[in-house]
Chain A
Amino acid sequence: MFTMGIDIGSSSSKVVILEDGVNIIAGEVIQIGTGSTGPKRVLDDALSKAGLKLQDMARIIATGYGRASVKEAHKQISEISCQAKGVFFLVPSAKIIIDIGGQDVKTIKLDSKGSVKQFFMNDKCAAGTGRFLDVMSRVLEVNLDEMEEYDSRSTEPASISSTCTVFAESEVISQLSNGVAKENIIAGVHQSVASKACGLAYRCGVEEDIVMCGGVAKDLGVVRAISKQLKKTVIVAPNPQITAALGAAIFAFEEVINK
């Protein structure tokens, strides 16, 4: 039996096709999100990769900010519950999830069964989110996937504000014009993202294992900065961008089984 989870975020679209609730036979990501062609393209890609048709899916669940616009879905579940489900499936020892996506930073506390015990999210502010990194990457003329490498060469991280993306951008520009090395600025940017996420994690109560997911988890500079600030090991979920879609696909499987 096949089930599908579709996660339409603010800046990327993800689909997971699951066989019998355990085997991931497709896990696709396209880096454009809700309102774009991303959702349709990623759906087609996943089906094509799995060699299946939409009709082969026993149940489809959508999640993410664009969840309400996914016509193929039988149901919508919040990304909080889906992240918990997906991460717990991959890392059953997870107690705290730090999820940083395009416009959200969230920390989720799990109970021993993997259910959501509490969660905290950023307010209406892009500081500390994937968008924040996008903006910095553009200003610094460094690709997102190169930022970790720059960070690893940092000798003295610069201080970058974590209260506002726009102000932080100005700070970065002024640091650049003052001749501060990009390596140190990028390490400062990573610390800024980390301080926002850690603020939320402290509210949940920091307890290991801590698992990071969402697109920003691919930037190991951020992961290191969070780990350093929390003084704990941070595990990056395998394929961290698809964990919510995976959770949705698992929910879909459970719903079919429990019917």
Chain B
Amino acid sequence: MTDTTNMLAKELLGFYQEKLYEEAREAKKEGKLVCWSASVAPSEFCVAMDIAMIYPETHAAGIGARKGALDMLEVADEKGYNLDTCSYARVNLGYMELLKEEALTGKTPEKLEKTPAARIPLPDLLITCNNICNTLLKWYENLAVELNIPLIIIDVPFNHTMPIPLYAKEYIAEQFKDAITQLEEICGKKFDYDKFLKVQEQTQRSVAQWNRVAALSSHKPSPLNCFDLFNYMALIVCARSKDYAEITFKKFADELDENLKNGIFAFKGNEQKRVTWEGIAVWPHLGHTFKGLKNLGNIMTGSAYPGLWNLSYTPGDMNSMAEAYTRIYINTCLDNKVKVLGDVISGGKCDGVVYHQNRSCKLMSFLNVETADMLQKENGLPYVSFDGDQTDPRNFAPAQFDTRVQALDEMMKQNKEGVPNE
């Protein structure tokens, strides 16, 4: 067994990511169940049933970041998936087709052989909910039909008003019970409620450490660049119900606390301006977007996206858990989205906002125009939006990004130099 005691947070992150994939591959070999899950679907039920978990969105992001998305997108294109469909879905559906072909023919397709991301096994069951988008429903239905495997769906209604009404929580909590019944049938064993409570408690400990890390960007200068959260996020998605996430985030938060104490900050040199990034990362161009901001003296200290996994609830209370999974800001009305993002901007002491008009994520992007307008009326901060995509590299133009970000930088500089916008 590998000794993780002296590992740095960065090493722990790599170690546990690989370990999770290895566990899933081993589970498959041993004939145990593997589940593919949506990123913000409750992981607690499957983990309590000892099911190995794979998260296609994280896997697709990894393929994108390692410049391997085009191969998978081509497979999905050939299968007839429309280019307007979410690129996470297309990358994953393409990957699934290749895995299926391999299983049916015994031959590994070339594109699968050379894909740069970790190898994942085919699922035996699926779980999704629609708290982050409705594309997930069709995406997972297609997986279920193509692979002829069971699909657990938890319907999480959109919150048109806040606070969340009791009936909505009860509706979701009832479906949790159905999910448990479905799992009992699929696994052929009784649900272990004691273990479930422990898994819930573990999830809360992971979330607490995640929130501890995220809060550190409020320091000025900041010990944390929120671009790092885009990477660490892999474990809050894939391992929040295990101690892997808690251990890694605790280590990371401890390291950052220590850095803060010693005056070591995330921006090497002088942190000049702080920005909020609204939306998913542009994974295939992560380096370009990071450097584009950094070279202008900017650090990202605000991002609402990692906050999607602030899934705090009371273990043992199904309604409380239901609320955690439905209150995430992209499942709520415009007013609440504006409030959440406004808090992120002020919490990160930001000087401006970058909105990613993400061709894949309609739910996050379509409200951006109105959100940006409302927030600017509130805080007067300059903002800019750029066209991009989370995993389809063809939908991002570096020069267009650079121009917009440079102009934002100049506006922020002008504000800081005491020539306020009126």
Contact = CB atoms under 8 A, between A and B. Distances in A.
Interface string B400-419: 10111011001100100001
B421 A111 contact: yes
Contacts of B407: 78, 80-81, 116, 119
Contacts of B145: none
B419 A65 contact: no
A97 to B, nearest CB: 13
A115 B402 CA distance: 20
A112 B403 contact: no
Interface in A69-85: 76-81
A117 B421 contact: yes
Contacts of B103: none
Contacts of A80: 403, 407, 410
Contacts of B384: 119
A123 interface: yes
Contacts, number: 46
Nearest to A113: B419
A121 interface: yes
A124 B414 contact: no
B403 A78 contact: yes
Nearest to A68: B402
A37 interface: no
Interface in B335-366: 357
A241 B171 CA distance: 61
Contact of A111 (B376, B387, B403, B422): B422
Contacts of B395: 124
Contacts of A65: 399, 403
Nearest to A109: B421
A118 interface: yes
A-B interface, 9 closest residue pairs, ranked by CB to CB distance from nearest: A80-B407, A78-B406, A78-B407, A81-B410, A111-B422, A123-B387, A117-B421, A124-B387, A115-B414
Interface of B: 357, 369, 376, 382, 384, 387, 395, 397, 399-400, 402-404, 406-407, 410-411, 414, 419, 421-422
21 contacts: A76-B406, A77-B410, A78-B403, A78-B407, A80-B407, A80-B410, A111-B421, A112-B422, A115-B411, A115-B414, A116-B410, A116-B414, A117-B421, A118-B376, A119-B384, A119-B407, A121-B403, A123-B387, A124-B387, A124-B397, A124-B400
Given A112-B422, A118-B382, 15 more contacts: A65-B403, A76-B406, A78-B410, A80-B403, A80-B410, A115-B414, A116-B382, A116-B410, A117-B421, A119-B384, A119-B407, A121-B400, A123-B357, A123-B387, A203-B369
